[in-house]
Structure 1
Amino acid sequence: MSRPEERGRIVVGVDGSPEALEAVRWAAAEAVRRGASLHLITSVEWLDRPAIGLPAPEHSVADKLFELAGKDLDDAASAAKEIAPEVRVNRQTVVGFPVPVLTAESRHAGLLVVGGSGRGRFSSLLAGSVAVGVATHAACPVVVVRGEDHGDSAPVVLGVDGGRSGEATVAFAFEAAAARRVPVIAVHTWGFPPGDARTAPIWGEISDDAERELAESLAGWTEKFPDVAVRRIVSHSVAAHRLVELSQEAQLVVVGSRGHGQLVGLVLGSVSNAVVHRAACPVAVVRPART
């Protein structure tokens, strides 16, 4: 379990790309809402290994990369201060690959924020695969900043699947909506039942079961957050499609993450993966607590 000071720490991945700066700005605004500090981190993957018998160059490639990393962090800190001048900002350059570096930092954070894609040094730190990687392995919730700003009054969309990650996901969504003073749109889909049109007579029963499952998932949260208006949607559709559709008018989509079979915890769920890649607004991926 993380300590209180760690829960008040937001880690942001930086790589010098415009997407990284958007992630920093989003995280700075979130830090104000949470009363949290910002920890800006970038990774340098290169280690000089001069060949035996050759003189060392006056200026190594590693020196240049560390110089660029420092500039990236300076730019990120300036972007954060423009949004939230009162927030405490720390910076760090780490030698290593992006996913393990950020995953390690997530063990001491309340939130990890990355961009949806990156075009900075080596297009590495915030590349789409890296965003999925940290969302898969991080020890804290991850926000992938992508899409557009749909305004401060836009709702928080919550994908409800009733799985093991359900309670943590619902809690994150309600807390985010309460901090922003906006509604929650809670979505539960029941997909396409097997068979053909002859199964249509039981669709009503399936829909009723889905309604009950959604109500059970939200039970208690509306009482805990009485000022958060809730709109419930039970839809006969593919979950990822519905969530991406709703993201076009949302300021945040919140989904859970779970793997399958023997790979539980090693892969991002198909719905979360699709939403991270296609949503029109930032996406929060909340993993179940590890026991």
Structure 2
Amino acid sequence: MRAVGPVVVGVDGSTSAQRAARWAAREAGRRKAPLDVVHASLWPVVRTPGGWLVQGGHQALRDAANAVLAEAVATCRAEEPSVEVRGHLVTASPTAVLIDRSREARLVVVGSRGLGGFTGLMVGSVGVALASAGHCPVVVVRTGADATASLTEGAPAEGPVMVGVDLSPLSDAAVDFALRAATDRNVPLLAVHAWHNPVDSDFLTHLLTADVGWDEQRHRAEQALLDRLVRWREEYPEVPVEVRVVPERPARALLTTAGSEHAQLLVLGARGRGSVTGMLLGSTSHAALHHAPCPVAVVRNPVG
């Protein structure tokens, strides 16, 4: 997991982006990291010997963008005065800018809905692009009432950090990130393994061949999940860990559990460039990013 570099947040003047900015400021404070606030837009420009210039009549767009950035920077500084906050105005595609900055960042944060420079930030564009192609963990701060209740007043959430685990090394980076987040927040970790069709799981396929009932199968799966977490429980002995095996489609299991447990962060794993796996398979990732009742972190496995 990248230990250096800034936390980066993309802003566009929307309410969603303001919430993401406040979340990012608090996260930067927990990590004792600088915070880069980035507003990216594409304006009509011309190339001159001195560089790129906004064409006449469009200076108002740049002025408006500067105002958006200044407001976001002020919001972050007010939210977390101890954090070094740096504003960046960029004339480029928001997706390209944030993916590029993810190379050096320890975390990139965006809201779940956007306008202005981040038009179409409905997770299906910038958010999903970052989740699948970013070079560091990506957090999408959901805008639902439950997801932002703790953000509006600045009060810390009390629910656990939740992580989806698929009983393979592909979840390792997500587990490490989730335990770090739980440590920083002084809350428990809830590790969830879910499946819809047990035949799809090698481990559970083996269970089906055994003459045991569902209770025994669940017990064995829970033990396998605990065994998978042994390494990190030794590294983070102060974090209470609960494991849960849910016989349900991953998306439904994750969303239902995150809601019932009032999770303050849902962490999912990803591997490879543009390839998502484990608890983040196709519709599962989209469901979590669009409907989770809390911020969602997508953590790329560096091994791929």
TM-score normalised by structure 2 residue count? 0.81
Helix, strand or coil: the match of 1:165? Answer: helix
Whole-Å separation in 1 of the counterparts to 2:226 and 2:118: 46
Q: Tell me the CA shift for residue 186 of structure 1.
A: 0.6
Whole-Å separation in 2 of the counterparts to 1:141 and 1:214: 23
Which residue of structure 2 aligns with residue 253 of structure 1?
A: 266
Which residue of structure 2 aligns with residue 231 of structure 1?
A: 242
Q: 2:251 aligns with which of 234, 240, 254?
A: 240
Letter in 2 for 1:285: V
Which residue of structure 1 aligns with residue 90 of structure 2?
A: 94
Which residue of structure 2 aligns with residue 157 of structure 1?
A: 162
Which residue of structure 2 aligns with residue 53 of structure 1?
A: none
Task: Confirm whether residue 65 of structure 1 aligns to residue 61 of structure 2.
Answer: yes
Q: Tell me the CA shift for residue 202 of structure 1.
A: 6.5
Deviations 1:140-199 (A, max 9, x none): 00010012335521110111013443111110000100110001111011322359xxx7
In structure 2, relative to structure 1, the CA distance for the partners of 1:203 and 1:159 (3 Å cut) is farther
Helix, strand or coil: the match of 2:89? Answer: strand
Q: Tell me the CA shift for residue 287 of structure 1.
A: 0.7
Helix, strand or coil: the match of 1:101? Answer: helix
In structure 2, relative to structure 1, the CA distance for the partners of 1:94 and 1:210 (3 Å cut) is same
Deviations 1:50-108 (A, max 9, x none): 9xxxxxx98333x2322222111111011101211121011111121111110000001
Q: Tell me the CA shift for residue 212 of structure 1.
A: 3.9
Whole-Å separation in 1 of the counterparts to 2:273 and 2:100: 16
Q: 2:74 aligns with which of 70, 75, 78?
A: 78
TM alignment of 1:181-260, pairs within 5 A: 181-193=186-198, 204=214, 207=218, 210-248=221-259, 249-258=262-271
Q: 1:113 aligns with which of 109, 114, 131?
A: 109
In structure 2, relative to structure 1, the CA distance for the partners of 1:194 and 1:257 (3 Å cut) is same
TM alignment of 1:140-151, pairs within 5 A: 140-146=136-142, 147-149=147-149, 151=156
Q: Tell me the CA shift for residue 113 of structure 1.
A: 0.4
Whole-Å separation in 1 of the counterparts to 2:112 and 2:213: 37
TM alignment of 1:259-274, pairs within 5 A: 265-268=273-276, 269-270=281-282, 271-274=284-287
TM-score normalised by structure 1 residue count? 0.85
Q: Tell me the CA shift for residue 49 of structure 1.
A: 5.7
Letter in 2 for 1:148: T
Q: Please identify, of 148-157 and 16-25, the stretch whose mean Cα deviation from structure 2 is larger.
A: 148-157
RMSD over aligned Cα atoms: 2.7
Q: Tell me the CA shift for residue 45 of structure 1.
A: 1.5
Helix, strand or coil: the match of 1:220? Answer: helix
Question: How many pairs are equivalent?
Answer: 274
Q: Tell me the CA shift for residue 284 of structure 1.
A: 0.6
Q: Which runs of no fewer than 5 residues in structure 2 stay unpaired?
A: 48-53, 151-155, 201-207
Q: Tell me the CA shift for residue 273 of structure 1.
A: 2.5
